[in-house]
Amino acid sequence: MKSWQPFEWIVASRLLRDGRWQTVFIISGVAIGVAVIVFMSALLNGLQANFIRRVLTAQAHIQLLPPKEAVRALRHGAPGEQAAATLQAPLQRQKSIDQWQAAAAQIRTLPEVVTVSPTAAGSALVVRGEASRAITLAGIDPALYFRIVALPEKIVTGSTRLNAADILIGTELADDLGLAVGDKLRVTAGSGGDMVFTVSGIFDLGNKGANQRNTFVALHTAQSLLGLQGGVSSLEVTVSDIYAAEDVAQRITARTGVQADSWIKTNAQFFSAVQAQVSANTAIRFFVGLSVAFGIASVLFVSVVQRSREIGILRAMGVTRQRVLRLFLLQGGLLGLAGSAVGSVVGAVALILWRELARGPDGQPLVPVTLQAPLFVVALLLATVTGVLAAMAPALRAARLDPVVAIRG
């Protein structure tokens, strides 16, 4: 004995079975559309995440800097004579953020802020034998800075030990100067400070210029070497939502009075490219969804025309307009659901094949993609809702058919 089923479900499933080839073709069309949405969305999300990871793994989300020297007006001529002023850009000296401890404490109270790390950085010259290189010397607090830049994961040889006389250098600088872990080198700062360091670790940031230029020492050591006694040249900040970094930076400036630059501002072209990818992904979803909707609507319109006599008989037997309306809406929803289920499977298989086959020379995936459950759930809901909405017009046409006219043909 069959279990009880709603009238609309029985008739809708019967109509879909009777027009099985139409049903197969429209489900295939919906499946292809959903597979494209799933594949492209996952691919673009992976590409965007990879770009952001490459940019932000070596820098903070927000950087607080001391104010620049003001432009000075120089006047020429004898005393008492009126002369035109000449604007001269001042020399930007190494300086510290005023009351940086208080500013850091204020920033940490913001709920969006995750980490605040003080940094004392400046230019210096590293000398070994007759060779020398210009470098950027950064004094850091490892416990805080390593929460912003995962430097321990980028160490090639040695360790991240940073005692008073230890220094971390990049692979390119080590190759240029023939340095290995345990070797000595002399560093002379632009302020005139001079000190001999021991190489405790060699890192690879994935960028040749950064590996040749960037070096890291203990915070107190850099403060002494750069002439920033107890001061810092910047405060590095990370936030929970990277896309809200500019808003948080403006709030920090308003609260502390210190200039705050977010990664969005300092990487304006990159951020524009990310936004363009998001817009492209949205456009792809919209047009694929539109094509799916037109496909379902066209099939159901044909079904209404072909089934006009049957619909008229149902209406003559007492079936209400509301039931006829629900009947065709249910057909649209079933077509969308079935197509999205098949399309999700096809999209998942395509993503797995892409992840395994599309690899770079180093054996790593060209674009790392992950199979995220929310993406498939959204695709299922989107296709099902699209099917119901696409069925609205043919469903209204079927519900409005006059029984007598429909039966006569």
Please report whether residue 304 resides in a domain.
Answer: yes
Same-domain check for residues 243 and 288:
no
Tell me: pLDDT of 334 over 50: yes
pLDDT at 77: 53
* pLDDT tens by residue, 27-61: 888 888 888 888 888 888 777 777 777 667 677 88
Same-domain check for residues 250 and 104:
yes
Within 8 A by CB and 6+ apart from 385, the residues are: 336
Same-domain check for residues 249 and 108:
yes
Please report whether residue 222 resides in a domain.
Answer: yes
Containing structural domain, residue 119: 100-258
Same-domain check for residues 284 and 253:
no
pTM of the complete model: 0.65
Same-domain check for residues 254 and 276:
no
Same-domain check for residues 275 and 254:
no
**Confidence tier at 92 by pLDDT (50, 70, 90):** very low
Same-domain check for residues 279 and 398:
yes
Please report whether residue 61 resides in a domain.
Answer: no
Please report whether residue 372 resides in a domain.
Answer: yes
Q: Please answer whether residues 212 and 133 qualify as being in contact, where contact means their C-beta atoms are separated by less than 8 angstroms.
A: yes
* pLDDT tens by residue, 301-324: 776 666 667 777 777 777 777 877
Same-domain check for residues 51 and 106:
no
Task: Give CA–CA dist 266/278, Å, rounded.
Answer: 20
Same-domain check for residues 276 and 248:
no
**Confidence tier at 352 by pLDDT (50, 70, 90):** confident
Amino acid (1-letter code) at residue 223: Q
Task: Give CA–CA dist 389/325, Å, rounded.
Answer: 12
Please report whether residue 161 resides in a domain.
Answer: yes
For residue 23, give the 3-state DSSP assignment. Answer: helix
Same-domain check for residues 138 and 243:
yes
Element (H, E) at 203: strand 194-203
Same-domain check for residues 254 and 275:
no
Residues of the chain by 3-state class (helix, strand, coil), percent to 5:
55, 20, 25
Please report whether residue 67 resides in a domain.
Answer: no
Q: How far is CA 328 from CA 225, 312, 388, in A?
A: 78, 14, 9
Same-domain check for residues 107 and 169:
yes
Structural domains counted in the chain = 2
Q: Where are the alpha helices (DSSP H) in 122-244?
A: 142-145, 171-177, 208-213, 219-225
Task: Select from 258, 279, 296 the last residue of a domain.
Answer: 258
